[in-house]
């Protein structure tokens, strides 16, 4: 194996002796672990650490989130209320007080990284959180960044902020590492504990300390050559999906134009036992990772004088998919003799993936906006989403599926939640645009 993929040493070879805790904020014992940011990444990490018996505190800027967690209520789909209640019973507490950082043995930063209004990387949350950690940093602490970002973030942004705020030196007075999150909302097979975990240290000793920490509750660790390699590996994982989804979407567009059944093409190609990974077309990409991470890579590469031409082409295809779906809706309405102005269109499933309550970057929002601009009366049904807004305005929500389908002029299946019966939808008696290849029937039109 090369250095970037070798397995981490066994935990008994790298585990460090416990250090006597220093007094924390308020005179109590400092936390073994402080997780900064209790969202889709931080809360599952905190749960896994608590389950392993690590004394954990969560730090978040939202008092609403903190209050809910203290009452045993989860705001993250991958962590149930009873799991939060169990965490609290084990001693977990959430707070908005950054004083809990002082004296912590390990601090893991899990704040969100999104896009600015012009579509560029937004590192403001990382910078704010890191500066806060730096002001409270004490000698001997391990600081790990898990937030997704471009190569150079840990060493070029996080390290200077920590050193400036604390007066300490990374690799000497405190340890620094990067370990990208691999959270897949709704995945019941792979979670924090059993998903292989990449770890990259600023120095070899930093890496050893980080491996010692994560080996306490994660089964398989992969040691990267350094923090840049770990950061790049995370971006590659999602850029790989980004490019391949774009390829399949473009194949679907071509097949539609020339009259080829793209779903049969995928079925046939998917029978090859080697050299082909199946990706499927859809109304557009969503979630926090796939639409965002490749832009971090492209923006950083551009700053360094390199152009990712393939990413630019993929983005052009993916950005066009919501408009293509909206256009298909208008074509179908016209084909059935229904004027767009005032037509009742029902969107089924507005989350970004099946059976999760997550609407981040969902293409449903762009599709609805384009239909509304055409004068269509748009409503949605989704058991996971009580409030769905398009340009700050709430979209009417249908609660009764059968009644909503029965009164719609056209139904659009955007997300095949398990609660949707394919046979019933295929025979619902209404024109249906199926963007997921899940339905068959006389009135069903594939993407």
Q: Where are the domains of the chain?
A: 11-225, 312-446
Residue 151: closest CA among 66, 229, 252, 55: 229
Kindly give the residue spans of alpha helices, DSSP state H, lying in 259-340: 262-269, 293-303, 309-335
* C-alpha separations of 418 from 307, 382, 422 in Å: 41, 11, 9
Q: DSSP string spanning 306-323?
A: ---HHHHHHHHHHHHHHH
Count, in order, helices (H) and strands (E) of the chain.
15, 17
Residue 297: closest CA among 305, 283, 288, 308: 308
Kindly state which CATH superfamily the domain 11-225 is placed in: NAD(P)-binding Rossmann-like Domain (3.40.50.720)
Give the pLDDT confidence score for residue 318 in this predicted structure. 96
Establish whether 289 is a catalytic residue.
yes
Give the pLDDT confidence score for residue 28 in this predicted structure. 64
Give the pLDDT confidence score for residue 77 in this predicted structure. 84
Q: Which of 50, 206, 289, 428 is catalytic?
A: 289
Rounded Cα distance, 134 and 163, in Å: 7
The reported pTM is 0.88
Rounded Cα distance, 200 and 114, in Å: 22
Kindly state which CATH superfamily the domain 312-446 is placed in: NAD(P)-binding Rossmann-like Domain (3.40.50.720)
Give the pLDDT confidence score for residue 188 in this predicted structure. 86
State the greatest distance between any 2 C-alpha atoms of the chain, in Å, as a whole number: 77
Q: Would you state the structure tokens that stand for residue 139, as one six-digit string?
A: 């000698």
Half-sphere exposure of 296 (CA within 13 A, CB side): 28
Q: Would you state the structure tokens that stand for residue 363, as one six-digit string?
A: 């293409």
Rounded Cα distance, 135 and 346, in Å: 51
Q: List per-residue pLDDT tens for the chain, 447 residues long.
A: 333 333 343 333 333 333 333 344 444 688 999 999 999 999 999 999 999 999 999 999 999 999 999 999 999 988 999 999 999 999 999 999 999 999 999 999 999 998 998 889 999 999 999 999 999 999 999 999 999 999 999 999 999 999 999 999 999 999 999 999 998 888 889 999 999 999 999 999 999 999 999 999 999 999 999 999 999 999 999 999 999 999 999 999 999 999 999 999 999 999 999 999 999 999 999 988 899 999 999 999 999 999 999 999 999 999 999 999 999 999 999 999 999 999 999 999 999 999 999 999 999 999 999 999 999 999 999 999 999 999 999 999 999 999 999 999 999 999 999 999 999 999 999 999 999 999 999 999 998
Three-state DSSP class for 390?
Answer: strand
- Which residues 6+ apart lie within 8 Å of 219 measured at CB? 193, 194
Three-state DSSP class for 423?
Answer: helix
Q: What is the DSSP code (8-state) at residue 9?
A: P
Give the pLDDT confidence score for residue 131 in this predicted structure. 98
Rounded Cα distance, 419 and 404, in Å: 15
- Is the separation of the CB atoms in 222 and 197 below 8 Å? yes
11-225 and 312-446, same CATH topology: yes
């Amino acid at each position: 194996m090369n250095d970037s993929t070798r397995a981490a040493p066994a935990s008994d070879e790298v585990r460090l002796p416990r250090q006597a805790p220093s007094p924390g904020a308020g005179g109590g014992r400092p936390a073994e672990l402080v997780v900064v940011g209790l969202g889709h990444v931080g809360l599952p990490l905190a749960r896994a650490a608590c389950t392993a018996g690590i004394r954990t505190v969560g730090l978040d800027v939202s008092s609403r989130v903190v209050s809910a967690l203290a009452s045993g209520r989860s705001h993250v789909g991958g962590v149930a209320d009873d799991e939060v209640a169990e965490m609290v019973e084990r001693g977990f507490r959430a707070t908005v007080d950054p004083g809990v950082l002082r004296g912590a043995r390990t601090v893991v930063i899990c704040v969100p990284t999104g896009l600015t209004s012009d579509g560029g990387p937004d590192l403001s949350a990382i910078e704010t959180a890191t500066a806060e950690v730096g002001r409270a940093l004490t000698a001997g602490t391990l600081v790990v960044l898990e937030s997704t970002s471009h190569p150079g973030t840990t060493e070029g942004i996080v390290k200077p902020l920590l050193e400036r705020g604390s007066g300490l030196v990374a690799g000497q007075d405190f340890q620094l590492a990067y370990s990208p999150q691999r959270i897949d909302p709704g995945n019941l097979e792979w979670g924090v504990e059993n998903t292989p975990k990449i770890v990259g240290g600023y120095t070899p000793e930093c890496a050893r300390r980080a491996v010692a920490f994560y080996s306490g509750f994660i089964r398989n660790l992969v040691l990267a050559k350094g923090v840049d390699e770990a950061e790049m590996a995370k971006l590659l994982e999602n850029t790989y999906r980004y490019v391949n989804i774009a390829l399949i979407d473009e194949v679907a567009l071509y097949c539609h134009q020339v009259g080829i059944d793209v779903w049969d093409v995928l079925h046939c190609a998917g029978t090859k036992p080697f050299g082909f990974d199946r990706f499927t077309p859809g109304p557009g990409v969503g979630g926090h990772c796939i639409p965002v991470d490749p832009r971090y890579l492209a923006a950083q590469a551009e700053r360094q004088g390199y152009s990712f031409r393939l990413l630019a082409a993929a983005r052009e295809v993916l950005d066009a998919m919501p408009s293509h779906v909206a256009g298909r809706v208008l074509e179908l309405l016209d084909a059935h003799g229904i004027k767009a102005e005032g037509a009742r269109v029902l969107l089924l499933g507005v989350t970004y993936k099946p059976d999760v309550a997550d609407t981040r970057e969902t293409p449903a929002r762009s599709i609805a906006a384009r239909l509304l601009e055409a004068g269509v009366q748009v409503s949605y049904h989704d058991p996971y989403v009580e409030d769905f807004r398009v340009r700050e305005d709430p979209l009417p929500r249908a609660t009764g599926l059968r009644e909503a389908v029965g009164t719609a002029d056209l139904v659009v299946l955007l997300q095949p939640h398990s609660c949707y019966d394919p046979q019933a939808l295929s025979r619902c008696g209404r024109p249906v645009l199926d963007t997921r290849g899940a339905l068959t029937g006389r009135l069903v039109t594939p993407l």
